[in-house]
Amino acid sequence: MSERPAIIQNPILPGFNPDPSLLRVGDDYYLATSTFEWFPGVQIHHSRDLVHWELVAHPLQRLSQLDMRGETPSCGIWAPCLSYCDGTFYLIYTDVKNSRGLMNDTPNFLVTAPAITGPWSEPIFLNASGFDPSLFHDRDGRKWLINMLHDYRPYKNSFSGIVLQEYSEQEQQLIGQRRVIFGGTSMGCTEGPHLYRHGEYYYLMCAEGGTGYAHGVTVARSRTLFGPYEPDPNGPMLSSRHMPWAMLQKAGHASLVEGANGHWYLAHLCARPVGDKRRCILGRETALQEVYFTDDGWLRMKNGTDYPAEKLALPIGGDSTPTGRNLLEDFDGPFISSHLQSLREPLGSRADLTARPGWLRLRGGQSLFSHYGVSLLAHRQQSFYCQAETRLSFAPDHFQHLAGLTYFYDELNHISLAVTRHETLGRVLTMIRTRQGESDLPLGAGIPLPEEGDVRLQVCTRKETAHFFYAVRPGPLTAIGPELDATLLSDDAYEEIGQMRFTGAFLGIFCIDLDRYEKAADFAYFSYSETEGL
């Protein structure tokens, strides 16, 4: 009797998991995704069936590999490319230093490892001519780097094509001539290139149309490596741009793999809008589609359309019931959960699991508005309906000491509930709400708290809205502050004011000391749970 098919509900990696690079090595599948300013850099998930995915690696864990201190929001790690050849894993990535002026600063690097879990090498600098690099291993053993080419001149197209150059593993550098092999199509914003060889053709897969609602996947092919590359005459093989009703929007930036079962699969970026303004608070996510090559050698969607399917039946079998993405980090072990990330750099000595066993001691760092030394530990939001909770022990000396729970996009859009001190009220609970860079204090001077005792904090999201709660042990949770607009924590909120952002919402714990960077708060636990359907 054959096994029943597994039904995948897209997205397979919900929440901020953009720019997927899909790889198969034997019976193992790996997905690498962008992390931008969140540290450690690059997330790699593993699966044996394309249904169940587990976070197994953050390759860039040392400052010698990745130093993002001072980088502005949505810089950092863009579009990693994961590949494998002759027993070695290769990871190519951009560490964007600047993307807001006339000229971009986009150094591209390579690290390698004998296993997906490492150890990963020190980085090799490759070039900085543009972002979204990818490494292609040809059948003859030669290796080729491709990336988009950025042109800073105002009278030129800034997305000026895809360039290819040979990489010498022996010399650990690019060699030979740099060639422009593809200029893109009329969709524009040609980026995210991946090169494949199948049958008698080289296939160049690119993202086009920008990373918003006009996003799409373009495929071009050539009988020779250097081109010319002929775009698919049918246009983009995947896009949601003409389907405003589709659940999965912004479909694009894809990578291709042949499955162990002989079928072909495409991992691609997508997003799910909510509310009247169609903002995507979960950021750009990763979905999976089945595709095939036609008799005349073009890549097509198995669902018979050019837009993404919400569900996918896999001839693999096994339990496809969602297991949820709940986390309870009780800080009892020697390491902090890999599902929690910091901003731009490791917390280092600012995080201590030994000073008070069973607790995390978080030493106060700079404010949540800073690009340096922020003491923040956060979990990406992966469901429209979720809650995060913590319990902290904190005795602030004055108003410049704050610690608590935050619902965070970046320094210009976040909402925090914090324990601090007021000159006349004593220890208080305050809320700081920052919207497009403008901050206010919805609770005014704050809600007075007992001078002694732990404080329990919780934030609950309900699609477009969020609400905070608090309790002084052992009392019950009480709602505090106004109903909050969660849609501000989105790329789209920035796009509406003419700015570009590329990440997603996080929920986390923080400690701030604006005086001496030394006042500490102790956290008993941090939990993240998904509540949809409860």
Half-sphere exposure of 158 (CA within 13 A, CB side): 11
The better pLDDT of the pair 7, 223 is held by 223
Q: Is 95 a catalytic residue?
A: no
Please, what is the average pLDDT of the chain?
95
* Percent of the chain predicted with pLDDT > 90: 94
Q: How confident is the model at residue 534 (pLDDT cuts 50, 70, 90)?
A: very low
Joined together, the tokens standing for residue 102 give 């006339």
d(CA 187, CA 241): 11
Give tens-digit pLDDT for 512-521. Answer: 999 999 999 9
In this predicted structure, the answer to whether residue 469 has a pLDDT above a threshold of 90 is: yes
Give tens-digit pLDDT for 482-510. Answer: 999 999 999 999 999 989 999 999 999 99
In this predicted structure, the answer to whether residue 319 has a pLDDT above a threshold of 60 is: no
In this predicted structure, the answer to whether residue 321 has a pLDDT above a threshold of 70 is: no
The type of residue at 81 is C
- Domain segments of the chain: what residues? 6-314, 327-530
d(CA 397, CA 112): 48
In this predicted structure, the answer to whether residue 155 has a pLDDT above a threshold of 70 is: yes
Question: What per-residue confidence (pLDDT) applies to 93?
Answer: 98
Q: Is 67 exposed, middle or buried (0-12, 13-18, 19+ CB in 10 A)?
A: middle
In this predicted structure, the answer to whether residue 523 has a pLDDT above a threshold of 60 is: yes
Question: What per-residue confidence (pLDDT) applies to 3?
Answer: 59
In this predicted structure, the answer to whether residue 322 has a pLDDT above a threshold of 60 is: no
- Specify the pTM: 0.96
Q: What is the mean pLDDT of residues 390-410?
A: 98
Question: What per-residue confidence (pLDDT) applies to 6?
Answer: 83
In this predicted structure, the answer to whether residue 1 has a pLDDT above a threshold of 50 is: no
Question: What per-residue confidence (pLDDT) applies to 317?
Answer: 55
What would the CATH number be for the domain defined by 327-530?
2.60.120.200
Q: Is 191 a catalytic residue?
A: yes
Q: How confident is the model at residue 173 (pLDDT cuts 50, 70, 90)?
A: very high
Structural fold of domain 6-314: Tachylectin-2; Chain A (2.115.10)
d(CA 50, CA 106): 32
Q: How confident is the model at residue 371 (pLDDT cuts 50, 70, 90)?
A: very high
Joined together, the tokens standing for residue 362 give 């978080």
The catalytically annotated residue of 49, 191, 285, 492 is: 191
Same fold, 6-314 and 327-530: no
